[in-house]
Structure 1
Amino acid sequence: MEKIFCALPCTERQKVTFATFTFKDDAQEWWLLTLEKEDIVTWARFIEVFYEKYFLDSLREQKASEFIHLRQGTITMAEYESKFTQLARFATYVIPTEARKARKFEARLDPEIKNMLEVLKLPTYAAVVDRAYIAEKGIKALRFGEPSQRKRFWERDNRMPGVAPPKRINTSTTSSTGPSNQSLANPKGGITPACSTCGRTHWGPCRQDTGTCFRCGQVGHWLRNCPTLVRPFEPVRKPAVPEGARKD
């Protein structure tokens, strides 16, 4: 019935009306007696009353226990969300607010996805679910996608802050000693940009612009005169003896 409601959006009262229209015999009599006591106009309230009547306490407790211990594990996000939604109605006391529901869903996610979402502190259940799907898609792209797909994912609009992009691996067979204006992999993570001033690859301001030594970063000298450079051994020259002086 709920699948039909997803395909054909209805109001809360219409959902209750359509569901109870299918009742027959004892179920129909029970529903008429229920309406005499309470005017049920929301789907959530209808589900609660219906389960109290047709689900044994032992079965409801079993479903509530399944919800409390539910984890994503190795199943997909779609499967986890479906189970979470189905079982949540049996343990509404565990998630009385929207924020508690969001934290409960987040806490039982796959650890890799959970770590990406925890830093965001998303306030609503819908936001957590949406971002979890995005995280799962990104992880699959990084694991199994082509290099171009992985690059496009990490160049998006900061969807998962705090997560460093993958290192770029140079598979070229050309020599790495020659000059190149291409970006190189930064050992701390990320891609080191090529400088438009000196043509080298580095982070931060260009030392050619700041007038500092390329080796030690100090001002007042250039690389060729850097005091940190090891000089080759130079032989000590003896002072010249003036002409006519005594030679011992």
Structure 2
Amino acid sequence: MAPTTSKRPIAHQDESLDVCNEDCRRALRDPEALVHVATRLCKAFTNRPSVYAGQAHSRSKFDQFCRLHPPMFDGKADVMEADNWISRLEKIFRAIDCTEEQMVEFATYNLADVADVWWIYTRKLIKQELGEETPITWTRFKQVFRDQFFPEVFREAKAREFADLRQGDMSVHQYSLKFIELSRFAPYLIPDESRKAQKFERGLHPQILDRLIALKLRNFDVLVDRAMIVEEYLQSREEQFDKRKRKQQIPKQSLSKKPFQSSGQMPPQNNKPQQNATGQHAMCQTCSKVHRGKCLMGTNTCFKCGKLGHRIRDCQDDQRCG
């Protein structure tokens, strides 16, 4: 079925089209005028903006936004996550060049759960204040969003934490990452590159600071690099000092003395009784008794008769003894 053409005029038709319609009636009597009218009609329709051009452009931006995998926010996470969510979205918006109105529309699309319910009622209040025809700017959205999910009292606490930040037990690398993370809450403390480097330098460990302060490094990246080099040198020197200290604590005799290696036999013992200065027999080191001759402890030998196979308590009744 062939499509039918409506004869009802379009409400938003340009005035140039009305002039062309009048010229068309004259062109029926003049062929040259007909060509002129046709040319004017083509220009009128070409220069006239499409009704769906704005919608198509907005849809294209939203597709680009979705392809960059923007994060969702449900309002249940830590307060720091709220600020991180805003930062990640703004990075995406800069990449696809969004308008203020698109930024608000795309951001609120990625709200969920508690955050989504909050925005439904907050949007109504803002529209009552601004009017339905006035779009909500991204600046206004960030203001109400942070007041709800990233309150000022928390931002001030983070600013104080940055002001008091020191390296302490952290490595230089960990300290630099913490410095960068907290610096966004107090940018007024580091208004330029030189102030930023000075702030970082003052928080370094004293041993590192002593070796860098005379250099007057005023570039943050260069300062961090030099601080890491000094830190590595100090750690290497400390390890060498600990090795020398451990060697000095080991007795010199134990280094030359060979350790006893067990072969399943008892170490040789001196079984001969020793005599003291008076000529009397000293206490035996094996049985802790005073006796003459070789000690028979542990040899399964009779202490009385010196024969094998019986003990001394059986010696009087045993025929083998004597």
Task: Give the structure-2-normalised TM-score.
Answer: 0.34
Q: If each structure's helix is expressed as a fraction of its own residues, which one has the higher value?
A: 2
Task: Give the structure-1-normalised TM-score.
Answer: 0.43
